[in-house]
Chains A and B, each alone.
Chain A
Amino acid sequence: MAGYTQGSGRPNQWLRNLNAKIASVPMILTAVVIFLGGTIWTVVYSFTNSKLLPRLSFVGLDQYERLWDAPRWLVSVQNLAIYGIFSLIFSLVIGFVLAALMDQKIRFENTFRTIMLYPFALSFIVTGLVWQWLLNPEFGIQSVVRSAGWESFTFDPLYNADIVIYGILIAALWQGTGLVMCLMLAGLRGIDEDIWKAARVDGIPMWKTYIFVVIPMMRGVFITTLVIIASGIVKVYDLVVAQTSGGPGIASEVPAKYVYDYMFQAQNLGQGFAASTMMLITVAIIIVPWAYLEFGGGRKHV
């Protein structure tokens, strides 16, 4: 659009649109050097036995074998799986139900939305610390219920290795469901009012309309929300650091924390690189099919 310069001779290809190119230098550097280059660099170095400093002495898949032999990594992956599956299910279900309730032309909609979304403005550190306090067995919810008369009541997820990940899940859901609700509400508002009228004329009960008509129509919103939640799940780090520091023992470790600890504390870079490459693969498994459906071959069918 801007490249047509008048005057003699062919304009230099590189000088066309020069200002736009200069303005895009930070983006190009970020995209190529950091995002692309950095990722490739990490993947390559995950095949080396770098310890304190990165060294190019390749050891094949050694780091990965060591990784998948490490109990701490296995616990991390298992935790991430439990946390991931449950937070996907719960945040989608709770988010949708809340959005459906909010969509009933209620009063005080803004107040309710403000209340449900405010945790999302808080950091994971703040979230983790609040819930650490609420779930404190000596003073928190457990002690309150006990002093109300139910002496044997036990609710100490943060101190019980078997269920600690659910304690983190509670905090994560508190923080994140408001956002899901907002996205779903936007999706519901996008549904044509005539659909509802038609369903009412046909005498279809409301819950049936939701399940068989509205939800299938909101496919796009659901998929987008799913991708957002899923890519957030893989990154979960600060919440665990604040709430449990990975404890008790290693019971609430997650992959992102494993990477950080091995890179910056245990000074075992190779392990950190291998673990982060596994994280990358996990994200790729989630993103690639979605990107394909959204931008690739799927478009023709939708």
Chain B
Amino acid sequence: MSDIVAFNSVADEAAPQAQADRVIAGPRGRKPRRALSGRNIMIYGTLIVVALYYLLPLYVMVMTSLKGMPEIRLGNIFAPPVEITFEPWAKAWASACTGLNCDGLSRGFWNSVRITVPSTIVSIAIASVNGYALANWRFKGAELFFTILIVGAFIPYQVMIYPIVIVLREMGIYGTLTGLIIVHTIFGMPILTLLFRNYFAGLPEELFKAARVDGAGFWTIYFRIMLPMSLPIFVVAMILQVTGIWNDFLFGVVFTRPEYYPMTVQLNNIVNSVQGVKEYNVNMAATILTGAVPLFVYFVSGRLFVRGIAAGAVKG
């Protein structure tokens, strides 16, 4: 203990303003700082300004979406609405036009749901079994295929898009939801497989060995031991996939017909369609609606989102 006190006093020599209020008897943790020191003002000031900058677009989006067009033409975008109206939201959802149809975003929303749910399930199911095989049932050549898969994650999608179009066309599913689900499964595979492989490899090997001794096979161990033990990583994978697939634009445009366009594509078509008067409030309401699902996932999942992103980013 005395060592720590001595150490603290040495450290404090560099900071004379704290000399007076040093606690002699066994200080724990860092020395307390005054709340309004210059250093604190600078740190919190900077962070608050930065936070405002990050929040600004969201704020403007919400404010604009609640105003009527006349008010938008007159006022400034940062001002809160004088008269709150929810009409733009209703229009964005149900009757905004894209040039092809006037169903608003609802069509895109349901398409996105029909794309995201099966894509997430299929891609996670396949990748988790894959990761499990790679972690616990290594066979000759497995590592080679895995390396190709990981390197492939860095190849720009544009390089592989056309060959996939041809493959899907040969299978007769180009332009359908099934085709798009397969595409999402393919491009989600590198990162998800890596995620699951690393997670399963980190589980104690004794469990696996014990199950083997008891005569359990590949699928039994997967369903009875690995799966119940890995719920957190499944949640992380789900967050990763739901936000990733919901936010996808390129695959939606390339691999589906207009009637199956996901929400992002529908949104872009509504906002950037050339004909008619620009209704900025409807556009912003539509933009919020499209961002709402991933934002909801983000705010609900909190730390797990960060973990998923970090796992996705650092390893991918």
Question: Chain A interface (Cβ within 8 Å of chain B)?
Answer: 1-2, 16-17, 19-21, 23-24, 26-28, 30-39, 41-42, 54, 98, 101-102, 104-106, 110-126, 129-134, 136, 139-141, 143-144, 147, 174, 178-179, 182-183, 186, 197, 200-201, 203, 224, 228, 231, 234-235, 237-238, 241-242, 245, 256, 259-260, 263-264, 269, 272-273, 275-277, 279-280, 283, 287, 291
Q: Which of B167, B264, B287, B302 has most chain A Cβ within 10 Å?
A: B287
Contact across chains for B156 and A235 when beta carbons are under 8 A apart: yes
Name the segment of B44-52, B81-89, B224-232 touching the other chain: B44-52
CB contacts (< 8 Å) of B145 on chain A: these are: 24, 27-28, 31-32
Q: How far is the CA of A276 from the CA of B11 in the complex (A)?
A: 57
Q: What per-residue 1/0 map shows which CB atoms of B93-128 lie under 8 Å from chain A? A: 000000000000000000000000000000000100
Question: Chain B interface (Cβ within 8 Å of chain A)?
Answer: 7, 10-11, 14, 30, 43-44, 46-47, 50-51, 53-58, 60-61, 64, 72-73, 76-78, 126, 129-130, 132-134, 136-139, 142, 145-146, 148-149, 151-152, 154-164, 166-167, 185-186, 189, 193, 212, 217-219, 243, 246-250, 253-254, 264, 267-268, 271-272, 280, 283-284, 287, 290-291, 294-295, 297-299, 302, 305-306, 309-310, 313-314, 316
User: CB < 8 Å: which of A105, A106, A118 contacts B44?
Assistant: A106
User: CB < 8 Å: which of B11, B14, B30, B78 contacts A144?
Assistant: B78
Interface SS majority for chain A: helix
CB contacts (< 8 Å) of A130 on chain B: these are: 57, 60-61, 284, 287
User: CB < 8 Å: which of B185, B283, B302 contacts A133?
Assistant: B283
Given contacts A30-B189, A35-B155, A279-B159, contact A125 B267 (CB under 8 A): yes
CB contacts (< 8 Å) of B53 on chain A: these are: 174
CB contacts (< 8 Å) of A54 on chain B: these are: 162, 166
Q: Which of A24, A36, A120 has most chain B Cβ within 10 Å?
A: A24
The 5 closest A-B pairs by CB, nearest first: A35-B152, A123-B247, A20-B137, A19-B218, A38-B163
